[in-house]
């Protein structure tokens, strides 16, 4: 398979060690344009480290990362990011929190107001534009964070366990909502999670990683039709793929224990 | 009693009643025991002296207030600038903190005579004493407010294209504002102590001078009247900070609780 030169993300032989601990070992992957790729694996497999390396927030020990054909050597700035916690500024309203990323670029937030309001509607936050984060529920806060990541239409969005801090019921609903939003925006996404059903529900491709040192064990293509609704959870193909991914993760974790 | 449902109003009403009872008790016990006026004057006498000497009180309070506010403003500017230096030049942090902690362990009241030697009996020595007492809380709180920011918040700002200046003004400074406002509530009475001690040591203006000269004349009622002036002044000063918090920092957690 030939890799298109300007594929959103190309990772080659990436390794990262923190002192003597090898967090990530020889990871190579390619993310295609407008693909939703999920990285799934047990805690401590270096998933978050991989995202930080791709975004250039931390330097690699060896190997290289290209984002849209450009070598990453410093924090890249045309990327949207969603963290495990919402990371909202408590002094800003919903609207101003979303516009924050435009202001960080040195642009005036007001010119993106229409776009922000559109995203607020898409995320079901209408009526909460002028509320402060402490007036929103955890799920709503995380939706604000997702809107913020989408505001500038970045070619790439990195999501680091965005629903990890939510309760199970909210988490499942957020999965469906993100899928719905993604069907509208169709941005390239790298999504880190340890929830198997979340990964199958959202992705075009699932990358399974093993625990320390983090390595890619297997890749699954997800050929389920979109939009994917709640009924998908009982679809035989969904159930089968979930079981395969689960078995793969279990194999990987027992292998690393031995 | 709709108004009493508001906890803030109820609080003010309750404190006023408690205060009134205390004053009334003082008046009654004082009259019954015929306490000598030069030891404990009656509240009615203090009130009478306060009204009679009102213009002179204002004149002296003006001098003390000016020294206090100047010292506080100086402490605010220098304290915040020093905190910024410590945040951005992490290598000097240890040295600056140690030197400042050492300085802070000197009872600053004890160095007041030195200030009179260096800066004379004029307003300068009072301002500098006020400054010296006020700077420490401002500095310590500024370091916390500017520095102890969620790492993800800084990462998000970088990845959104924020340069150091924009991250400083839109993230660090905003995060620090409640901490700085809090420190002012402590620093304001401290600056006042500095100014008054300066006036005790020398000069012919200010509430400190008024108290001292009243003491020489055994005019205890005037001493109390001067204390009343300062109390009103301090309350107004802290009130200004609280008003600022109410108007601009309504998002902070401690404001939400009340």
Judge whether A1 lies within some domain.
Answer: no
Helix locations, chain B, DSSP H = 7-33, 43-52, 54-88, 90-105, 112-119, 123-147, 151-159, 164-167, 173-201, 207-216, 220-248, 253-257
Q: Does A186 touch chain B (CB under 8 A)?
A: no
Q: At what angle do helices B123-147 and B90-105 cross, to 10 degrees?
A: 140
Residue B257, pLDDT above cutoff 50:
no
Going from the C-alpha of A62 to that of each of A18, A41, A192, A213, A253, the distances in angstroms are 12, 22, 22, 14, 25
Judge whether A4 lies within some domain.
Answer: no
Judge whether A53 lies within some domain.
Answer: yes
Judge whether A253 lies within some domain.
Answer: yes
In chain B, what are the domain boundaries? 1-34, 45-257
Instruction: Please give the ipTM for the structure prediction.
Output: 0.85
Q: Does A83 touch chain B (CB under 8 A)?
A: yes
- Strands of the sheet with A156-160, listed across from one edge: A79-82, A156-160, A188-193, A36-40, A205-209, A216-221
Give the pair of three-digit tokens for residue A76. Answer: 């890249």
Q: Which of B144, B86, B137, B140 is nearest to B241 (CA)?
A: B137
Q: From the CB of residue A97, how many other CB atoms can be counted at a distance below 10 Å?
A: 24
Q: Which of B146, B135, B213 is nearest to B178 (CA)?
A: B146
Closest residue of chain B to A83, computed from CA coordinates: B152
pLDDT tens digits, B57-110: 999 999 999 999 999 999 999 999 999 999 998 888 888 888 888 888 888 888
User: Which residue spans within A149-241 are E strands per DSSP?
Assistant: 156-160, 188-193, 205-209, 216-221
CB B195 within 8 A of CB B208: yes
- Same domain, yes or no: A55 and A18: yes
pLDDT tens digits, A181-208: 888 888 899 999 988 989 998 999 999 9
Task: Mark which of A154, A170, A202 sits at the end of a domain.
Answer: A154
Would you state the pLDDT for residue A192? 93
- What is the C-alpha separation between A122 and B124, in angstroms, rounded? 61
SS3 A18: strand
- Same domain, yes or no: A63 and A102: no
Q: Does A243 touch chain B (CB under 8 A)?
A: no
Closest residue of chain B to A84, computed from CA coordinates: B152
- Chain B positions with Cβ closer than 8 Å to A: 150, 152-153, 155-163, 166-167, 170-171, 174-175, 177, 249, 251-253, 256
Q: Which CATH number fits the domain that encloses residue A211?
A: 3.40.50.300
Does residue B37 have a cis peptide bond before it, meaning omega lies within 30 degrees of 0? no
Contact at CB, A104 and B155, closer than 8 angstroms: no
The domain in which residue A197 lies consists of 9-78+155-257
Give the pair of three-digit tokens for residue B15. Answer: 């404190």
Q: What is the dihedral of CA B179, B180, B185, B187, to 10 degrees?
A: 130
- Same domain, yes or no: A182 and A226: yes
Q: For a pLDDT cut of 90, what percent of chain B falls above it?
A: 55
Would you state the pLDDT for residue A256? 56
- Same domain, yes or no: A252 and A163: yes
**A100 vs B contacts (CB less than 8 Å):** 160, 170
**B175 vs A contacts (CB less than 8 Å):** 89
Decide the pairing of beta strands A156-160 and A79-82.
parallel
Would you state the pLDDT for residue B74? 97
Judge whether A3 lies within some domain.
Answer: no
Judge whether A26 lies within some domain.
Answer: yes
- Strands of the sheet with A9-18, listed across from one edge: A21-31, A9-18, A62-67, A70-71
- Same domain, yes or no: A14 and A113: no
The torsion region of residue A86 among left (phi > 0), alpha (psi -120 to 50) and beta comes to alpha
Kindly report the nearest CA distance between residue B190 and chain A, in angstroms.
29
Number of domains in chain A: 2
- What is the C-alpha separation between B158 and A55, in angstroms, rounded? 10
Which residues on neighbouring strands pair with residue A189, listed in sequence order? A36, A157
CB B250 within 8 A of CB B243: no
Is the domain covering B45-257 a CATH 1.10.3720.10 domain? Answer: yes
Task: Mark which of A154, A171, A187 sits at the end of a domain.
Answer: A154
pLDDT tens digits, B106-162: 888 888 888 888 888 889 999 999 999 999 999 999 999 999 999 999 999 999 988
CB A66 within 8 A of CB A234: no
Q: From the CB of residue A121, how many other CB atoms can be counted at a distance below 10 Å?
A: 13
Task: Mark which of A135, A154, A173 sits at the end of a domain.
Answer: A154
CB B135 within 8 A of CB B75: yes
- Same domain, yes or no: A97 and A149: yes
Size of interface A-B (CB pairs under 8 A): 62
pLDDT level of residue A215 (50, 70, 90 thresholds): confident
Give the pair of three-digit tokens for residue A20. Answer: 């003597």
Q: Is the dihedral of CA A111, A114, A120, A126 positive or negative?
A: positive
pLDDT tens digits, A41-57: 887 778 888 999 999 99
- What is the C-alpha separation between B211 and B114, in angstroms, rounded? 22
Contact at CB, A81 and B170, closer than 8 angstroms: no
Q: Does A131 touch chain B (CB under 8 A)?
A: no
Contact at CB, B155 and A91, closer than 8 angstroms: no
């Amino acid at each position: 398979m030939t890799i298109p030169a300007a594929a959103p993300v190309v990772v080659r032989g990436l390794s990262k060690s923190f002192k003597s601990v090898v967090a990530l070992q020889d990871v190579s992957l390619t993310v295609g344009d407008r693909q939703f790729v999920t990285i799934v694996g047990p805690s401590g497999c270096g998933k978050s480290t991989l995202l930080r390396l791709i975004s250039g927030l931390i330097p690699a020990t060896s190997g290289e990362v290209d984002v849209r054909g450009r070598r990453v050597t410093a924090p890249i700035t045309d990327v949207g990011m969603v963290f495990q916690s919402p990371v909202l500024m408590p002094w800003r309203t919903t609207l101003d929190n979303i516009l924050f990323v435009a202001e960080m670029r040195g642009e005036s937030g007001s010119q993106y107001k229409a776009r922000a309001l559109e995203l607020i509607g898409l995320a079901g936050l209408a009526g909460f534009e002028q509320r402060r984060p402490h007036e929103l529920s955890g799920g709503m806060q995380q939706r604000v964070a997702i809107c913020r990541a989408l505001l500038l239409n970045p070619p790439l969005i990195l999501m680091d366990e965005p629903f990890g801090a939510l309760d199970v019921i909210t988490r499942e609903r957020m999965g469906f909502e993100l899928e719905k939003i993604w069907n509208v925006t169709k941005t390239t996404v790298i999504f880190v999670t340890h929830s198997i059903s979340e990964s199958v529900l959202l992705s075009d491709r699932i990358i399974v990683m093993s625990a320390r040192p983090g390595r890619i064990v297997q890749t699954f293509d997800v050929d389920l039709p979109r939009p994917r609704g709640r009924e998908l959870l009982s679809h035989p193909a969904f159930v089968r793929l979930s079981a395969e991914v689960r078995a793969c993760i279990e194999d990987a974790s027992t292998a690393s224990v031995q | 009693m709709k108004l009493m449902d508001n906890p803030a109003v109820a609080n003010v009403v309750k404190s006023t009643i408690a205060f009134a009872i205390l004053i009334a008790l003082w008046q009654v016990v004082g009259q019954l025991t015929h306490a000598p006026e030069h030891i404990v004057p009656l509240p009615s006498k203090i009130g009478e002296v306060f009204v009679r000497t009102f213009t002179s009180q204002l004149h002296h309070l003006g001098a003390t207030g000016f020294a206090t506010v100047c010292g506080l403003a100086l402490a605010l500017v220098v304290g915040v600038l020093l905190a910024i230096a410590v945040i951005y030049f992490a290598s000097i942090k240890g040295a600056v903190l140690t030197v400042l902690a050492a300085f802070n362990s000197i009872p600053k009241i004890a160095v007041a005579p030195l200030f009179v030697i260096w800066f004379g009996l004029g307003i300068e020595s009072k301002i500098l004493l006020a400054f010296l007492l006020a700077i420490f809380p401002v500095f310590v709180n500024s370091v916390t407010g500017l520095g102890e920011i969620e790492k993800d918040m800084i990462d998000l700002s970088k990845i959104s294209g924020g340069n150091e200046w924009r991250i400083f003004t839109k993230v660090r400074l905003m995060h620090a504002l409640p901490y700085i406002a809090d420190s002012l509530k402590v620093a304001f009475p401290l600056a006042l102590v500095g100014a008054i001690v300066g006036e005790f040591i020398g000069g012919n203006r200010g509430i400190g001078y008024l108290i001292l000269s009243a003491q020489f004349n055994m005019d205890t009622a005037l001493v109390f009247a001067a204390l009343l002036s300062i109390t009103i002044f301090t309350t107004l000063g802290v009130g200004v900070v609280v008003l600022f918090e109410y108007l601009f920092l309504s998002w902070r957690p401690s404001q939400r609780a009340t």
